[in-house]
Amino acid sequence: MFSFSNISSYHSELQAASFTCVEAVEFYLENIRKQQHLNAFVHVFEAESLERAQQLDCRRGNKEATGRLHGVVIAIKDVICYKDHTVTAASGILKGFKSLFNATVVQRLLDEDAIIIGICNCDEFAMGSTNENSVYGATKNALNETKVPGGSSGGSAVAVQAGMCMVSLGSDTGGSVRQPADFCGIIGLKPSYGTISRHGLIAYASSFDQIGIFGKNVDDLRHILSVINGMDDHDSTVAQFPARVFPSSPAKKTIRFASFQNAIGHSSLDPEIAEGIKDIAKKLVQAGHKLNNIDFGLIDFIVPTYYILSTAEASSNLSRYDGVRYGYRSTSGNKDLATFYKKSRSEGFGKEVKRRIMLGTFVLSEGYYDAYFTKAQQVRNILKQQTEKIFSANDIIIMPTVPTTAFTQGAAAGDPVSIYLADIYTVYANLTGIPAISVPLFKHSNGMPFGLQLLSKRFDEAILLDCATMLMQNYSSN
């Protein structure tokens, strides 16, 4: 009978003929059917994934060479282009649109024999922290269906959480991989900006967006990251060095950890989460690691800076969705071109997307550009400079991922600003371009999981993954 623990063991069992790729795909398809009510998937490629699994089984049976992700069953977020498959960013404005090409990450997965089983639900255009802002309806947290799974990559998180695939891809603009990973009790990695090509990723905020990975163990994230990172002629923002591999290796004997004291002591942080992180910090020192407590004075500037810059970029990026070239087109009462644009965009976009477009248009408008956008860019530069100084004397920053455990369904509708403020711990990594990972170490007294967030200097994902492994092996209370 098929079971999955990690990619390495899966490959060993395939070689030993313990089961086949077809049996693996059938197992996940059955799980998807049983848990359809969670609304994690918007499209499932049943026939296609079974056919690909058969082809891979034949190739393996014929002793042909196999790829590094041979038979690995993966789900992708509905903002990542997959040729000849529908991609809508969970928005009515892209209803029925099919991608004309593969995103670079998708092509690299397929080249290494992965099986893409389906497309996952998300907040519209990746704008949201609950996965309730979707034209397909809300996704539910498998651990407690009255709770949200987080967002915007909530469907991708639940797909892994509930055993509907082995690993999944999401996107992270301000915490959209790490926050749902935290809420769902799994691992979520946002690599450095520029580690993974954004070609084929539908843009929200181009200087923030990065494709991220969900899994249940760190080694699986190593496998995926080793395949999808590296240079790409289609993306001028990707780092210009060859693809790296991320083998498992022991963490450094002495790691220099930094802790932002005003983050751990912030008024928004749940006391139980604060105590859990303080306890881990104490144990790390007892184990011989170093801990530097830092008073990070810019913490209350992080969220405003993020929302000014990200909404400004969103306003620009989403201007292309006008009903003329593709996607939703209004057919009622269009007296002139301006009315046509207004109706198509008003009817096609959801409430949260329209809110952020208006915010972004405002901060870019004449008379406000310097007061908001220019100032926010200056703060971002200061953040980057201070971050470089911190990592000149430290290896890892530890902080919470989210101030609370998973929100109750519907809570965001009543108070969207409080949901924005809950991004206080995640958007820092996107503003500065550094990598970050949420590691599921704790369980709250309310029964929901929460994690510890680790951050390292730019392009040092290796130490991040090694440290995450060490923490999960030695300090997990789940």
Residues 6+ away with beta carbon under 8 Å from 8: 219, 223
Tokens of 324: 């003329």
Alpha-carbon span 255 to 112, nearest angstrom: 34
Nearest C-alpha neighbor of 324 from the set 350, 346, 353, 344: 344
Give the pair of three-digit tokens for residue 2: 């098929």
In angstroms, the CA 466 to CA 305 distance is 31
- Sole residue written with tokens 């500037």: 301
The pair of structure tokens assigned to 373 is 């956008």
CA dihedral 419, 309, 152, 171 (to 10 degrees): -150
Give the helix/strand (H/E) hosting 462: helix 461-475
Q: Which residues are catalytic?
A: 77, 152, 176
The answer, yes or no, to whether the previous bond of 152 is cis (omega within 30 of 0) is: yes
What letter represents residue 471's amino acid? L
22 contact partners, CB below 8 Å, separation of at least 6: 50, 53, 54, 57
**Which tokens is 256 given?**
């220099």
Cβ atoms of residues 195 and 163 within 8 Å: no
SS (H, E, C) 108-152: HHHHCCCEEEEEECCCHHHCCCCCCCCCCCCCCCCCCCCECCCCC
Q: Going edge to edge, which strands form the sheet with 396-400?
A: 41-44, 115-120, 73-77, 167-172, 210-215, 187-190, 436-443, 449-455, 396-400, 256-260, 290-294
